Amino acid sequence: MKKKKTDSYLSIVMGILTSFGILKPFLRLFSKKYRYKKREPDIKPSKQIPTFYVHGFRGNDSSTQQMVDAAMSYSQNKTFLRVTIDLLGNIDYDGDLGDGPHPIVQVVFKDRFVGNIGITRYLDMILPALANTYHFTQFNAVGHSLGATSLVLEAMKKHRSSHFPRLNKLVLLAGPFDGVVYLGDFPNVNQLTKKGRPILMNLRYLQLLFKRHRFPKNVRILNMYGNVDDDSNTDKYISVISARSIKYILSPVVKEFHEFELLGKFGEHSLIHDNRYAIDVLNRFLYSNEME
């Protein structure tokens, strides 16, 4: 029992340190090396556009499982591919991508206590590895919480990379784009201007703002956020202002930008990804391009 607790604490500490970039030089020495090659000319690119489901801090496969199950039914997939990656970049595959036009990929981080830097590092490995294996050139993505902010950062980071697939549609669920409640963001303190810019901007938000020109232009985005309707204007962890602040950054850049609010008890941060109504909305956006 003691060993299990020790391993758990070590995983938490390592994940947090990796998230702040402290262990990046060390991890480069031991991580699996990925060498990307340009797609061979005799290999015909696949027309498949897989959807990647990415959880956030302290998440696991259960965080996105209901979305994955619903997506399989909606897009008529009989299977999905679960990709699990550990701290050193070792990737385990379970399931299959299938041959449908919109295959499902569930991304799981073995070290659950991981932040934006750690998640983008994992995506750096997973996305090109799968693209090289299955030869797809485009992908969709759904990110919850830190998974949402990390997908935005990744798109900006790899906007000109030839070995990365091109982002097509992106669903952001409860993204903490301008702080977390009581960690840089206080309920009902920050406000949006008439143009949608938050009055108070943290360093992460400024980083996204200054790099917005790097975000790919032809992406369609659905930004979904919760409001438990208790006068705090939050989903208990992320304020409505923080979640909506991404519109000011990306709306002028991308092809389409939609917003959707989930009001009431099922708009709570950890319930949004299991909300049947929310799942139906994002499925129609991803797989039929219908928005109400």
pTM of the model: 0.87
| Token duo for residue 235 | 């989903």
> pLDDT tens for residues 18-59?
444 555 554 554 445 444 444 444 466 789 999 999 999 999
What residue ranges in 132-287 does DSSP mark as E strands?
A: 138-144, 166-173, 180-181, 184-185, 220-227, 256-263
pLDDT at 170 over 90: yes
Average confidence (pLDDT) over 56-74? 95
Average confidence (pLDDT) over 91-119? 92
pLDDT-derived band at 167, boundaries 50, 70, 90: very high
Q: Which of 35-44, 227-236, 258-267 has the lowest mean pLDDT?
A: 35-44
Cα 125-129-134 angle, rounded to 5 deg: 155
Half-sphere exposure of 223 (CA within 13 A, CB side): 23
> pLDDT tens for residues 282-291?
999 999 865 5
- The single residue listed with the structure tokens 């385990």 is 92
